[in-house]
Amino acid sequence: MYTVSRSCSTCRSGATVRDGYSNRARVKPADLLLLAAGAWLCAGDAQAAGPRRFDIDSGRLAGALVRYGEQAGVSVGLTDQRIARRHTRGVQGLLTSESALRHLLAGTGATYQFLDDETVRIVAAPSRRANLLRPVLQAEADAVPEREIVVTASKQAIPLAQFPGSVARAGLDLDRTGEASSAGTQVLVGGLPTLSSTHLGPGRDKLFVRGIADSSFNGPTPATVAQYFGDVRLNYAAPDPDLNLYDIAEAEVLEGPQGTLYGSAALGGIVRLIPRVPKLGMTEGSGIAGLVQTEQGGTGGDAAAMLNLPLGADIAIRAVGYGARDPGYIDDIGRGLTDVNRTTSYGGRIAIRYAPTDRLTIDAGAVLQNLGSRDSQYAERGLPPLTRNSAIAQPFDNDYRLAYLTVATEVRGAQLTSTTGFVRHDLETVFDASPQFGTRAAYLEDLRITLLTHETRISGGDARGFNWVAGVSALHNVTRAERQVGPDGAAVPLLGVKNDNGEAALFGQASVPLLDDVTLTLGARLNYDEASGQVIGDRVPERSEPKRRNLRWLPMSAIAWRPSARWLFFAHYQEGFRAGGLSITGPMTADKFRSDSIAMVEAGFRFGDADIDRFAASVTASGSWWKRIQADLIRPNGLPFTTNIGDGHVLGLEAQADWRPTDAVSLQAALFLNTSALDEPSPAFADAEERDLPNVAEAGGRLGIVYRHRLSDRLALSASGSVRYVGHSRLGIGAPVDVRQGGFAEATLSARIGSDRAGLSLSVANLTNVRGNRFAFGNPFAIEARDQVTPLRPRTFRIAIDGRF
């Protein structure tokens, strides 16, 4: 039975008002009137009082608010039946009345208004679209725990508690976690087991999500994971740009495919970096500097700084600059050099926000990063550890530029967002071709990538849980690859290729409440894409292949059942594709590779929210069926080529649990299991039937612990540790690339002592100094020997100081 109870000096202690409302019954208007009739209840001084003891279980919000009124000593008004039927997590502990109410309403889509010290009214929260104009994208990593967690990558601002799919989130506050300020994507790979990558070297790696891995080598194929910086796309047919993550608030990994909302080249999903945006009317800054020492390697360091300045009442600028030198740890006995694989990076970001009204926000910005490695990071079996024998240096250079403009405004309660981005990405690679020539020789590859993207979308919703988004998008990517090979200093040009990919699309998606606890989501994308290739080179006439045009329909569907505030069960179907292109197949020949596509079904559940609840867990099972798999491969002579290897599948199981046994200690555990096979290989790969797909680890997991303790009013200690296991996989399909890799565990520790203003941190990576074999490839021209390994960076210490104002 629901009970409203109040007591004060003018009423008898414990005076109560009851009605015959059953907790199992449907919410009736009379029940709502009972909550609204606070005027006849005696007045108390709830807001003026200190913390109170609250003990309210999870359940329907209407009944929980009755108990809140009793325990807080306030009158509660609620007249919206839709809100009354929703679930709340409840609240327990010693809290102020207002803080307890925020906890109680978290995730319900409702908010509150105190009419006076004694009366509070519960109403539907403002449109989440309007909230996007405010700090949703800012997403401070240390935000109060009661804030509603929103999956911004859904493009509909769907709360995590209602999102019918697999999503992983990582808070990024590098100066507070002991991570190097030079840290890039490998921070995410180390913290999210479902995200993996190759390890050819910084700025050269491919990212994979949920075992959707095409090959270990880089070529003209579009990526399997789409990467975003806010709303603008970072890549298309290129390796991970490996952007520095300093002053990035958090990252979201939306497991895929994600063709309906994101179009092509998102077979595995998307990785979305959420930058901190300029803050209006506020001057603030931060900085960090660290020293690094790698055992059996060199020394290095990193530094980064941020400055936020208001330029007026409605305009602000935020600038980030950084630089780092990561020590080398590979020795080359052939040239008598040590620590050859040192990497240097520097760059910065600048963002300007103009918000002339509460309903209009204009963001413009740029990203610049230069990254260079003196040499490759592979070693060779049969030699001393961390050693190889090569004839020449194999440097790599990655220069990345991004400019973007985003306009967001509210239109009759809906959110209109328009984003345009331009990317220029240049990559230069040198490999040692001496094994093929019998003398000092080099293979040089020069990639020039231009990417132009645009998206305009409008989204809306209401307090009942109805959400929708519709939009248009366009993409144009041009990749120009030029190659040379030959004796050192006398390399001759090889055939080159230019791939031109264009895409335009209409898309839409909507989530519709079918019942109080069940939501159906449907969506589709009408996608037009065209691809053409052109052979280029000094010794051949330029010729273009006919354009290949496709009109595709990419549907999705999902259903979610939320029987209580903490439980969510879901099932989800999604499709995706990658466009085809032109590949060099020999020294002077080229051929087409076709587009590939994937269909995925997943089902699972989530319990609780790690940011709010003491315990949270999730389990998801998935199956992906992949047609005409594109793969970048290596010929026995070391030259790369691209082809379609056939049809295959990937089956996976993921589980994660977060437990906070005390306010000071948090524990995390995550596990995934994968199985894959090439079911119907193309004729050239008939011998590989039923073999595992490359780079799909059979198992993996992570255990982590975080400890926080306040030593005084200003001083706090935080420490964390983790162990990550990477299971076995294969470098490629068939000899000579069917080399076993993985099968190692890596441990890290970090600690920081300090205040909110300044601190000192110490971290140790690869605590047990494991060698491992992350990625069994470094030089394609020596791959036939099957003796290459890519060991983990040896035990590395870093000490750093940070400050902010």
**Helices then strands (H, E): number in the chain?**
9, 52
Shared-domain flag, residues 348 and 381 = yes
For residue range 329-345, list pLDDT tens digits in order.
999 999 999 999 999 99
Identity of the highest mean pLDDT range in 583-587, 639-643, 727-731: 727-731
Going from the C-alpha of 295 to that of each of 157, 263, 292, 328, 771, the distances in angstroms are 46, 44, 10, 10, 12
Q: 789 CB contacts (<8 Å, ≥6 apart)?
A: 378, 379, 380, 381, 741, 773, 776
The pLDDT score that the predictor gives to residue 128 is 43
For residue range 99-113, list pLDDT tens digits in order.
889 888 887 878 898
Burial 296-335 (b: 16+ CB within 10 A, else e): ebbebbbbbbbebebeeeebbbbbbbbbbbbbbbbbbeee
The pLDDT score that the predictor gives to residue 746 is 96
Q: Which of 176, 361, 163 is nearest to 250 (CA)?
A: 176
Task: Report how far Cα 76 is from the mean position of its chain's Cα atoms.
Answer: 40
The DSSP call for residue 326 is E
Shared-domain flag, residues 257 and 355 = no
Rounded mean pLDDT of 166-184? 76
Q: Is residue 494 part of a domain?
A: no
Shared-domain flag, residues 283 and 260 = no
Shared-domain flag, residues 625 and 691 = yes
Q: Which of 428, 430, 429, 432 is nearest to 334 (CA)?
A: 432
State how far the Cα of 477 lies from the Cα of 467, in Å rounded to an integer: 32
Domain boundary among 78, 107, 125: 125
Shared-domain flag, residues 199 and 241 = yes
Question: Is the peptide bond preceding residue 736 cis, with omega within 30 degrees of 0?
Answer: yes
Q: 41 CB contacts (<8 Å, ≥6 apart)?
A: 4, 6, 17, 69, 75
Domain boundary among 270, 293, 320: 270
The pLDDT score that the predictor gives to residue 260 is 96
Rounded mean pLDDT of 598-617? 92
Q: Is residue 687 part of a domain?
A: yes
For residue range 9-61, list pLDDT tens digits in order.
333 333 333 333 333 334 444 444 444 443 333 334 444 456 788 888 777 78
Shared-domain flag, residues 153 and 290 = no
Rounded mean pLDDT of 378-385? 95
Q: Is residue 441 part of a domain?
A: yes
Tell me the three-class secondary structure of 62-112, residue by residue.
HHHHHHHHHHHCCEEECCCHHHHCCEECCEEEEECHHHHHHHHHCCCCEEE
For residue range 53-86, list pLDDT tens digits in order.
888 877 778 888 988 988 888 888 887 777 887 7
Phi, psi of 436 (to 5 degrees): -85, -25
Task: Report how far Cα 729 is from the mean position of its chain's Cα atoms.
Answer: 23
**Tokens linked to 689:** 């039937």
Shared-domain flag, residues 508 and 601 = yes
Q: Is residue 490 part of a domain?
A: no
State how far the Cα of 512 lies from the Cα of 514, in Å rounded to an integer: 6
Q: Is residue 627 part of a domain?
A: yes
Question: Residue 384: which CATH number?
Answer: 2.40.170.20
Q: Is residue 655 part of a domain?
A: yes
Q: 312 CB contacts (<8 Å, ≥6 apart)?
A: none
Q: Which residue has the tokens 């493009």?
A: 155
The pLDDT score that the predictor gives to residue 673 is 95
Query: How sure is the predictor about 463, in pLDDT bands with cuts at 50, 70 and 90?
Result: low
Domain boundary among 254, 270, 286: 270
Q: Which domain holds residue 158?
A: 129-270
The pLDDT score that the predictor gives to residue 574 is 97
The pLDDT score that the predictor gives to residue 634 is 87
For residue range 246-261, list pLDDT tens digits in order.
999 999 999 989 999 9
Lowest mean pLDDT among 163-177, 378-392, 708-722: 163-177
Question: Residue 31: which CATH number?
Answer: 3.55.50.30
Q: Which of 651, 672, 648 is nearest to 727 (CA)?
A: 672
State how far the Cα of 784 lies from the Cα of 790, in Å rounded to an integer: 16
Task: Note whether 257 and 268 are within 8 A (CB).
Answer: yes
Question: Is the peptide bond preceding residue 193 cis, with omega within 30 degrees of 0?
Answer: no
Shared-domain flag, residues 247 and 376 = no
Query: How sure is the predictor about 515, in pLDDT bands with cuts at 50, 70 and 90?
Result: confident
pLDDT at residue 449 is higher than 60: yes
Q: Is residue 491 part of a domain?
A: no
Task: Note whether 303 and 323 are within 8 A (CB).
Answer: yes
Shared-domain flag, residues 335 and 428 = yes
Question: For the chain, how many structural domains are there in total?
Answer: 3
Q: Which of 496, 477, 692, 450 is nearest to 578 (CA)?
A: 477
For the chain, what is the radius of gyration of the CA atoms?
Answer: 28
For residue range 536-578, list pLDDT tens digits in order.
876 666 666 778 999 999 999 999 999 988 899 999 999 999 9
pLDDT at residue 724 is higher than 50: yes
Rounded mean pLDDT of 291-305? 96
Rounded mean pLDDT of 760-776? 93
Shared-domain flag, residues 310 and 434 = yes
pLDDT at residue 280 is higher than 60: yes
The pLDDT score that the predictor gives to residue 85 is 73
Q: Which of 437, 469, 432, 471 is nearest to 454 (CA)?
A: 471
Shared-domain flag, residues 658 and 747 = yes
Lowest mean pLDDT among 121-125, 197-201, 315-319: 121-125
Looking at every residue in the chain, the average pLDDT score rounds to: 86
* Residues 42, 47, 50, 55, Cα dihedral to 10°: 70
Q: Which residue has the tokens 């595992």?
A: 692
For residue range 550-559, list pLDDT tens digits in order.
999 999 999 9
Please state, for a pLDDT cut of 70, what percent of the chain lies above it. 89
The pLDDT score that the predictor gives to residue 215 is 85
Rounded mean pLDDT of 299-304? 95
Shared-domain flag, residues 477 and 510 = yes
Task: Note whether 796 and 765 are within 8 A (CB).
Answer: yes
The pLDDT score that the predictor gives to residue 400 is 98
Q: Is residue 726 part of a domain?
A: yes
Lowest mean pLDDT among 141-155, 186-200, 487-501, 740-754: 141-155
Question: Residue 176: which CATH number?
Answer: 2.170.130.10
